[in-house]
């Protein structure tokens, strides 16, 4: 199986302010059950040293820094990410096709043996609705804009997109495998919603076309995170 389709489909979001808190949760999880996502807050606070420590625990890491800048600058950031050996990194599709192509070329230029990091692009942030898009001068519905940016991402040769699970099915039909649909906003049936509004269960998201699920608090704030992950993976296996 390729790196794209193999391995756990759950990516646990380590949304913590410092390395100690993140490592305390990571040490209670099993790399055979999940990958880990490191975002802005944790990376700005804990830096590359934390990524090395997560790798030492055998986890694959999604570095979720959503690069969006001129192509040369984004290419440099992607080279730095590839040198860290992360499993996945992302950019904003709204940065345009030349920026995405430069990001992809940069990753390939660094990794000469083994697999380069997977590169995916954020389509429309799930916090945005049609009025927010209009406020940015975009006169499309959210599904239309997500499809438009996913097409741009696909044409630029990236490995997939971050999107809402509500859009994953349409994007899977349009672009097929192995183009990834990485979806946040997932809640097991008995979990608290927190600040997420349009949520889906893990089984529903997989049925609708998500390839990977980003799940934070339902796992990280559980009394027994490993048991919650086991139940989620069983639900995914039953739905797949
Ligand atoms: O705790 P929870 O499961 O809500 O965490 C979801 C994770 O996915 C967070 O790291 C959040 O920043 C991220 N995310 C999201 N919605 C998006 C993009 C990313 O919730 N559209």
Residue 66 is a catalytic residue: yes
Does residue 163 sit within a domain? yes
pLDDT in tens, 190-234: 988 888 777 899 999 999 999 999 999 999 999 999 999 999 999
Q: What pTM does this model have?
A: 0.95
CA distance 199 to 220: 17
According to DSSP H, which parts of 85-162 are helical? Answer: 97-110, 130-135, 142-155
Evaluate whether 79 touches 109 at the Cβ level (below 8 Å). yes
Cα(209) to ligand 1 centroid in Å equals 18
Confidence of residue 1 (pLDDT cuts 50, 70, 90): very low
Structure tokens at 11: 């990516």
Helix pair 97-110, 71-84: axis angle to 10 deg: 30
Does residue 229 sit within a domain? yes
Report residues whose beta carbon is within 6 angstroms of any ligand 1 atom.
13, 15, 39, 125-126, 162, 184-185, 194, 196, 214-217
How far is C-alpha 158 from the chain's CA centre? Answer: 13
- Rounded to the nearest 5°, which phi and psi values hold at 37? -110, 130
pLDDT in tens, 14-57: 999 999 999 999 999 999 999 999 999 999 999 999 999 999 99
Q: Give the CATH number of the domain where residue 197 resides.
A: 3.20.20.70
Signed CA dihedral, 195, 201, 205, 211: sign only: positive
Does residue 1 sit within a domain? no
Does residue 5 sit within a domain? no
Q: Which domain holds residue 230?
A: 10-239
Q: Which atom belonging to ligand 1 lies closest to the Cα atom of 194?
A: 4
Does residue 60 sit within a domain? yes
Cα(184) to ligand 1 centroid in Å equals 5
Provide the number of structural domains found in the chain. 1
198 burial (CB, 10 Å; 0-12 / 13-18 / 19+) is exposed
Does residue 30 sit within a domain? yes
Q: What is the CA radius of gyration of the chain?
A: 17
Evaluate whether 152 touches 171 at the Cβ level (below 8 Å). no
Does residue 71 sit within a domain? yes
Cα(214) to ligand 1 centroid in Å equals 7
pLDDT in tens, 87-140: 999 999 999 999 999 999 999 998 766 789 999 999 998 888 899 999 999 999
């Amino acid at each position: 199986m390729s790196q794209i389709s193999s391995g756990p489909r759950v990516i646990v979001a380590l949304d913590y302010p410092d390395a100690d808190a993140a490592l305390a949760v990571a040490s209670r999880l099993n790399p055979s059950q999940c990958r880990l996502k490191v975002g802005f807050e944790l990376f700005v606070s804990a830096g590359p040293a934390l990524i090395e420590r997560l790798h030492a625990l055998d986890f694959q890491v999604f570095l979720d820094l959503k690069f969006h800048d001129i192509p040369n600058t984004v290419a440099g950031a992607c080279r730095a990410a590839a040198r860290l050996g992360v499993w996945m990194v992302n950019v904003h599709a709204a940065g345009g096709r030349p920026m995405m192509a430069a990001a992809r070329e940069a990753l390939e230029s660094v990794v000469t043996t083994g697999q380069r990091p997977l590169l995916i692009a954020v389509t429309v942030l799930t916090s945005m609705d049609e009025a927010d898009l209009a406020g940015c001068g975009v006169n499309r519905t959210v599904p239309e804009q997500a499809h438009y940016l996913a097409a741009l991402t696909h044409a630029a040769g990236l490995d997939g997109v971050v999107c809402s699970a509500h859009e994953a099915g349409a994007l899977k039909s349009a672009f097929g495998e192995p183009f990834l649909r990485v979806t946040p906003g997932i809640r097991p049936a008995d979990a608290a919603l927190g600040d997420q509004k349009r949520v889906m269960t893990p089984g529903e998201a997989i049925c609708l076309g998500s390839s990977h699920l980003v799940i934070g608090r339902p796992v990280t704030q559980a009394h027994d995170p490993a048991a919650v992950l086991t139940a989620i993976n069983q639900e995914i296996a039953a739905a797949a």
